[in-house]
Every structure is written in structure tokens, then in C-alpha cells.
Chain A
Amino acid sequence: MASGIKDRVAILGMGCTRFGERWDASPEDLMVEAFGEALEDAGIEPGQIDAAWFSTHMPDVGTGRGGVPMSIALRLPNIGVTRVENFCAGGSDAIRNAVYSVAAGATDIALALGVEKLKDTGYGGLPVTNVGTLIPQWYPAAVAPANFAQLASAYRAKHGIDADLLKRAIAHVSVKSHDNGAKNPKAHLRKPITVEQVLDAPIIAEPLGLFDCCGVSDGAAAVIVTTPAIARSLGKNDLVTFKALQLATSNGWELQGSGWDGSYFHTARIAARRAYDEAGIADPRRGIDLTEVHDCFSVTELVTMEDLGLADEGGAVRDVLDGAFDADGRIPCQIDGGLKCFGHPVGASGIRMLYEVYLQLLGRAGARQLADPKIGLTHNLGGQPSQNVCSVLIAGLEKA
């Protein structure tokens, strides 16, 4: 059994751009903006970074391929820069690589930066791409909303839940995230909405309407990591350390087998269990103070509460409607607005989630600051319900 990474790696500094329709900004602008904030927060020079991981999902519409675009944009000192692509979970995977390099002793200081420039396609939503030469010949030309909307039909069937009740519960998810996002100056969408607005919005993919879908945004986020000892030597006292970082990847069981019922994320349950073990958390409902989850669609967030063990199976509808995950609830979720309102620049999202946890733990979250959180969890998903990559990361104050 591996000893894990708990408390072996600390965050030295973080940065995150304003997310949104950044018509004014190129990928270079976004990278420079996030990196600059992280460097300043870390209090180091670029020459002190030993290696970097670069997360971007759609190179053809934004940044280009390989590690080169980031190395050039940031004029890094010819260190190793590796592009990480793992669907929407690439940001967390870039963190994982940087953290592992520090934990292994291969580097002292490592950088993970994610960026996505989505708003240069000419249309809304994610860019349309072909995946290989075989898949388009049989697989539906599916879009993300319909892939995730299928959770709703399977969840209803499994738990015998009325369509209107589920629709109302997922509407609450979005209303909550809009309330939170309105308080976040870096968020893409900053207007509160009502349940009625959500219910009356045009349908994108049954049963998901416009407000059940997250923002498609431009943005970048960066994290610089090191050992707790080096962090202290650089003058940092209140440290946020990594407690766990687990990734689980589908192997075809959900998509091709017959054991999965379509209502949950098989990988999320595996990654969560491993992460709680690594962090030594016996009961996540008591051990986790806030979560940033992959709410690409409202229904994703609802079932994720169960996958993370924060709600009973079949009980998330009730808990959501009871406000358990609201800003003043039992375990606040998406206190920064989440993908829904902070926005979703794909390759940056996992790092943005950690950014919010980091700010909250250090008491730097401004108007949306929670009372004294000590442990936060990020859940970053790539792919779609039946075939995906899921990361669960737990970070906390060093002594927590």
C-alpha cells in the first residue's frame, strides 16, 4: 500500500483569471494573467520553478499542442513542460503531476497551469470535433448536455422519482450556484436567478434547460506547489497541504457492460473512496467543510453528492431541496459559483476549483468567505457519465 501524498506537498501560490467571454484576451493573455498572480502569491521568480504541467483540452481552437505554447507564453527557463489532456479533468491531472513530482523529490517547486480559449469558435457551447476515425462511424454525434442529461432518466427510473420533482431539485442546484457566483468578482455569470426562470428556460437536452448548463468560458488558473519545508523557508506560515489526490478512469464497464445503471458515476465513487482513505477521512459528512464539484450540468452535481457520500443514495433530491449544499447549508458546494457560474474553461477548471478551496481555507474569499473551513474537496470530471476520468482532491490546512 502506497503511503500517499498526505501533507507532503503544500501550495506555495495560486492565480486565476476572471472567467468569461474574454473577447479581449488570447490564450497568452490568460496564461500570463493567471501565472502572474500565482508567482506574486508564491513570492518566487520563474527561474525557481523546476518543472511545469500544462492543461488544455482543445488545442485546435485555442492554444496549440504540446508543452510549447505555455513555455513560450511564460518564457519559462527551458524546463520540462508537459501538456496534460484528460478531458475536463485535465486541470486536476496537471496538479497531480506537479504534486507527484514534488512528493517524489524530483522537483522542489513545480507549476501546474490550465487554460482554455473557447470563445473563438463563432458559436455557443463547446467546439464540435471528430474523435478518431472509428468512433464517429458508430457513436452518436453526441453533445455534452445530452450525455449528462441521461443521468436524469436513469436516476428517475432507479429511484422512482417523479420528473417534475427532479427538475425542481436540479433547478435549486442552479439557483444556489447563481446566488454564490453573484458574490464572486471573477465569475462568468453574476446574476441571481429564480427557480421559475430555470423551469421556464428553453430545453437544451431533455430534461436540462439553459440554466441547467454551465457557462462555456475563457480562462486560466495556476498553482505552484512545493514541500512544506521549502514553503516555510520561503516565509509561508499558514500552509494549505494536499491530503489526497486520486484519479479513476473508466475501462468500458459502464459503456459496454451491463452492470451499471446509468444513474451515477462509477469512477467518482472509486476515486472518492480512495481519496478518503488517503486523507484518513472516515466520515466525509463530518470531515469535509466545503466542496467544489464538477457541476457541468445541474443533474451532475446532484448525483455527485451521492457519489461523494455526502448524501444517501436516492436522497440527494431531498438534501438539495433542503439546502444542505447551499452557502449556509451543511456542506456548502460551489461557494465560488462552480462551473455553472464561475465558468468552465475546460483545461483550467480543476485548478480553479482548488483556487477557491485555497482562498477559503486561508480566509481570503471576500464576500463569499465561509466560517472557518479546514478541509475542502474538489471533484473534477472529464468525459461523460458512461465513460470518464474522475479526480477527487482533498486539501486542508496543514494541521487539520
Chain B
Amino acid sequence: MIGITGYGAYLPRLRMRRQAIAEANAWYAPNIRGKGTRTLANWDEDVVTMAVAAARDCLGRGDDRGNIAALMLASTTLPFAERLNGAIVARALTLDRSVAASDVGGSQRAGLTALQHALDAVAAGRGDALVLSADARRARPGSGSELAFGDGAAALTIGSEGVLAQFLGSASESVDFVDRFRLAGEPFDYVWEERWVRDEGMSKMMPGVIGAALADAGIDPGSVDHFIMPSTLRNIDAQVAKAVGIPADAVVPTLFERIGECGTAHALILCAKVLETAKPGELIVLGQFGSGAQAMVFRVTDEVGAVRPLRGVSGWMARGVEEDRYTKFLSFKGEIALERGMRGEQDQKTALSTAYRHEDALLGFVAGRCEVTGEVSFPPSRIIYAEGQPLKDTQRPYGLAERPAKVLSWSAEYLSFHRSPPHCYGQIDFDGGGRVLMEFTDVDPDAIDSGMDVEMTFRIKAIDETRGYRRYFWKATSARPAQEEH
């Protein structure tokens, strides 16, 4: 049996209120309205960081990730065109160097394409695979997409043991139906008329491919329990379900009003949401439109309750905080250049040779733990200080990313250039040893104090606009309970 063996997701903390966007643009685009919220990635989040977060949600806090042999990262907003984004994620997760990582893109169905690749790899006996999909799309200010899009990520592990949703069958179709396009390097999609997309594209292609997938699986459409087909077009999922013969009550709510439409990640986010409450024997169909169409069929197994994500889609949905400030939204999305002052002119050039030499520390947050004294040093050092007895070369790799920690001291400052002031940082003490002076993110300065519980999150450390590079590191964020803020 081959199928899904674990699931997780990530949704950024910020939830932009659509009405706030609409009101800010009402002078210009009075007919663009919306209700509810959409997720908004913080300035230091992108596809790579959100994929890491979703993967950690899926994989849990354990150190042993040695079963993962392949990693597929799907997105149409990968930060790097040259530099394997999946490799950054793999190293942040401290996966073995032997992992086969790949980036998958090209269309909105890239998430399902990556999932199919993973299933094929597992079927070929190449070991377990980690499928990640994330998107953080830009939309032109004043456009409908600005309200519709959301930022988010999902993760699935694929394997042949402990399967909680068995893969039954699939189908796909690849055609050059251009409902939207974006030339490489361009910021925004160009979109053709919705009515044409709906009537000539989705309504014609999706039923055929979904029907073919069901036939491949040997499943009667009427027995489908969960039908997932993300789209910003209202009710198109219900229309396609009806055309195929899938029961109307099987159509999975899109979560559009709460989180927006998260691009290539959305189908997998909804899948992860369904798996939270799915019962053994239930049938799940995933369908996605984009340069053709793709569909897959899974059956939930008795194992479904045995594996849980750390927070899951529901946990992340409950963990948001509403945002009303439109210029903050624009700034985080890169659509507005706020005054930075001269301190913002600091060169952010990254020494790539240094970065590689310290790859485990910088991407994996791996410290050194002295075998003799138990002292933990970050970054790892050749000599560990012990009173009157410095010890040389006694440290072994010791991961910090998944360890609980507390704030020792902190401040929130307004002096340096920061994309989301105040710039908060402080000394963090890890349970079991280790102390790092590090930046905070997604924290409310009024809520920080010495002794506060924090957890680690992989984020953008600095953006080098001169050379078009970004580097990543770990930051501390409040280890707030799931329900606290909503």
C-alpha cells in the first residue's frame, strides 16, 4: 500500500482584512469588495520559510527524519530561479544530504504534480518522500487578486508504511490553455476573462480528468466523501462535482473567507484539513486546474487517527491576528517602497563560502554539545569553555530548532532599519542548554518579557537587493497556545 503517511500545514499569523484593502482602494476601484480575511506572509516569510514550517508541522519535533529520501517543493513563487529552493528546505529540516530534492512549478496544479512525483518515487521503491507546496503570490494593488490570494503552505509525507490515506488512482491532462500567465521574473499574473476560463476551461477539462482518475481508481463518483478543487471562481467546484456525479455535500469548503486562495498549496492545505477529521474508508478526490488538469483519488485507512500534525490547518487558522494596515500589507508584498533612512543602506552581501562552511549551523540551527561537560555552544566552537579547563574538539552536533526555549533578556528598538518595527531581539535560553542572542518575529512587543516561552521559526534573515539574494536563519517567536489570539 502506498499513500499519505503524514500531513501538516502552515498559515502565516497575519490575516489581512479584505475590507481594509477595499476601503483603501475604494476611490479607485469601488467595485472591488470582499469580506473576511486573507493570510499575509510577514516580510521575512516566503515559499521556502513557509515550506519549512509546514514540513515541521507534519514531521513533528523528533530528530529522526532519516526515512525521508526525496523532497518535492511545489510553487509558482519560488524565491530562487537558480539555487535549489528544495535544498534550502532540506537543510533547514536537517534531512540527510542524500535526499533527492527538487523544485516543481509551472502551473497552479504544481502541488498535485509534486504529489504524483512523490507517489511514483515511493512506488519505485526509492524510500519515503516529503511533498511540500507553498505560495506567496503578488497581486497588483487595486486588483481583485489582491483580496483573493492568500499565503500558505502544506506538507504531506508519502510512504508505504503507516499509510493513512491510500493512493488509488489518478489522471492528468496537459494543454496550453492560458487562463493566466507570468513571464519569468515578472511580479504579476496576467489573467484572461473569467467566463471563458470557467466555461471553456474548467467546466470542460475538470470533469473529464476527475472521471478518468476515478476510473483509474475503480471508484464510483457517488461514493466520494471529500472533493477538493480550489479555485477563485465561485461555485465552480460544486458545478464540476455535479457534472462528474460526486455528491454535493462532498465538496470541501475552500476556507476562502478565512485564509484566501493559497495557490499551488491550496489543494494540499484542504487535504490536510480534511485528514484532521476524516474517517477510515472515506474517499478523497483532489482536483486542480492549470495548463490542463490533474486529479487523484485516496481512501482513508484505519491509521488516520494515529498521526497528527503539531498544529495542523485548524491550529494555524486559530492562531491568526487580524491586520488592517494597508501600507503594511503593500510593504510586506513589495508593492511600496517606504522611506528607510540611511541605516537601510547597509550592504547585505552574503559571503557564500562562509555560508556553506557553516551550513549546518545557519540552515539547520545545529549547535555543538560538549560530550564531557554537556555545555552547548552556538555556533559550534573548537574549544568549549569550562572553568579552568577549556576542552578542545569535544563537541558533537546538537540541534536547537525543535527545542523549547525561554527569553532571558530582550528589547524592542526603533533605531535600526527594520521592515516591521520595532526590531525585537534578545537572549534565548534553550531547555537542556544553549543560549543564542537572536531576533524575534511575529511577536507583540507588549507581550514579551523575560521568562516568556518561545519556539524557533525559520525565516528570511536579510534581503540583498543589490545582488538579488536572500539569506535565512532562525528566529524566536512566542510559543503561544493555538487558541490564544482568536
CB-CB under 8 A from A204, the residues of chain B are 413-415
A143 proximal to B (CB < 8 A): yes
Q: Is the CB of B429 within 8 A of A153?
A: no
B378 proximal to A (CB < 8 A): yes
Q: Is the CB of B409 within 8 A of A140?
A: no
Q: A137-B362, A138-B361, A157-B451 are in contact. Are A386 and B427 (CB under 8 A)?
A: yes
Q: Is the CB of B343 within 8 A of A138?
A: no
Q: Of all chain A residues, which has the CB nearest B354?
A: A133
Q: A138-B361, A251-B385 are in contact. Are A133 and B351 (CB under 8 A)?
A: yes
1/0 contact string of A131-174 vs chain B (CB within 8 Å)? 00110111111110111011111101100000000000000000
Surface stretch bound by B, among A100-108, A121-129, A284-292, A340-348? A121-129
Q: Is the CB of B427 within 8 A of A123?
A: no
A79 proximal to B (CB < 8 A): no
1/0 contact string of B369-413 vs chain A (CB within 8 Å)? 000000111110100010000000000000000000001111111
B462 proximal to A (CB < 8 A): yes
Q: How far is B341's CA from A371's CA once the two chains are assembled, in angstroms? A: 47
CB-CB under 8 A from B341, the residues of chain A are 123
Q: How far is B165's CA from A79's CA once the two chains are assembled, in angstroms? A: 81
Q: Of all chain A residues, which has the CB nearest B472?
A: A137
Q: How far is B345's CA from A329's CA once the two chains are assembled, in angstroms? A: 46
Surface stretch bound by A, among B259-267, B297-305, B435-443? B435-443
Surface stretch bound by B, among A42-50, A233-241, A257-265? A257-265
Q: A206-B411, A257-B435 are in contact. Are A130 and B385 (CB under 8 A)?
A: no
Q: How far is B135's CA from A75's CA once the two chains are assembled, in angstroms? A: 64
B44 CB to nearest A CB, Å = 12
Q: How far is B473's CA from A188's CA once the two chains are assembled, in angstroms? A: 40
| Residues from 457 to 481 in B contacting A, C-beta threshold 8 Å | 461-462, 471, 473
B308 proximal to A (CB < 8 A): no
Q: Is the CB of A145 within 8 A of B462?
A: no
> What number of A residues sit within 8 Å (CB to CB) of B?
45
Q: How far is B426's CA from A157's CA once the two chains are assembled, in angstroms? A: 14
Describe B's contact surface by its main secondary structure: mixed
Q: Is the CB of A134 within 8 A of B354?
A: yes
The interface centre, meaning the residue of B375, B450, B462 with most chain A CB atoms within 10 A of its CB, is B450
CB-CB under 8 A from B378, the residues of chain A are 256
Q: Is the CB of B413 within 8 A of A149?
A: yes
B433 proximal to A (CB < 8 A): yes
A281 proximal to B (CB < 8 A): no
Q: Is the CB of B416 within 8 A of A137?
A: no
| Residues from 101 to 145 in B contacting A, C-beta threshold 8 Å | none
Q: Is the CB of B377 within 8 A of A153?
A: no
A149 CB to nearest B CB, Å = 4
A388 CB to nearest B CB, Å = 13
> What number of B residues sit within 8 Å (CB to CB) of A?
52
CB-CB under 8 A from A133, the residues of chain B are 351, 354
B337 proximal to A (CB < 8 A): no
> B346 is contacted by which of A128, A138, A208, A263 (Cβ under 8 Å)?
A128
Q: How far is B461's CA from A151's CA once the two chains are assembled, in angstroms? A: 25
Q: Is the CB of B408 within 8 A of A154?
A: yes
CB-CB under 8 A from B449, the residues of chain A are 153, 157
Q: Of all chain B residues, which has the CB nearest A208?
A: B411
Q: Is the CB of B473 within 8 A of A138?
A: yes
Q: Is the CB of A252 within 8 A of B381?
A: yes
A81 CB to nearest B CB, Å = 31
A29 CB to nearest B CB, Å = 24
Q: How far is B423's CA from A76's CA once the two chains are assembled, in angstroms? A: 46
A203 proximal to B (CB < 8 A): yes
Q: Is the CB of B425 within 8 A of A142?
A: yes
Q: Of all chain B residues, which has the CB nearest A163?
A: B449
The interface centre, meaning the residue of A150, A251, A253 with most chain B CB atoms within 10 A of its CB, is A150
CB-CB under 8 A from A121, the residues of chain B are 342
| Residues from 234 to 280 in A contacting B, C-beta threshold 8 Å | 251-253, 255-258, 261-263
CB-CB under 8 A from A261, the residues of chain B are 408
The interface centre, meaning the residue of B379, B385, B415, B439 with most chain A CB atoms within 10 A of its CB, is B415
Q: A138-B361, A138-B362, A138-B473 are in contact. Are A151 and B346 (CB under 8 A)?
A: no
Q: Of all chain A residues, which has the CB nearest B361?
A: A138
> B379 is contacted by which of A134, A151, A152, A262 (Cβ under 8 Å)?
A134
CB-CB under 8 A from A324, the residues of chain B are none
Q: Is the CB of A146 within 8 A of B342?
A: no
CB-CB under 8 A from A153, the residues of chain B are 407, 409-411, 426, 449-450
Q: Is the CB of B354 within 8 A of A137?
A: yes
CB-CB under 8 A from A230, the residues of chain B are none
Q: Is the CB of A256 within 8 A of B435?
A: yes
A362 proximal to B (CB < 8 A): no
A252 CB to nearest B CB, Å = 6
B362 CB to nearest A CB, Å = 5
Q: How far is B426's CA from A257's CA once the two chains are assembled, in angstroms? A: 15
- Ordered by A's residue number, 22 sampled pairs between the chains whose C-beta atoms are within 8 Å are A123-B342, A125-B415, A137-B473, A138-B362, A138-B461, A140-B423, A141-B462, A142-B437, A143-B415, A145-B413, A145-B415, A153-B409, A203-B414, A204-B415, A205-B414, A205-B415, A256-B377, A257-B375, A258-B375, A262-B409, A262-B450, A385-B409
User: Closest 6 A-B residue pairs measured CB to CB?
Assistant: A133-B351, A205-B413, A149-B411, A150-B409, A157-B450, A146-B413
For the A-B complex with A255-B427, A261-B408 known, give 19 more contacts whose Cβ atoms are closer than 8 Å.
A122-B342, A125-B415, A134-B358, A137-B350, A137-B351, A137-B355, A140-B423, A140-B438, A141-B423, A142-B425, A143-B415, A143-B423, A145-B411, A149-B413, A153-B407, A157-B451, A206-B411, A206-B413, A255-B435
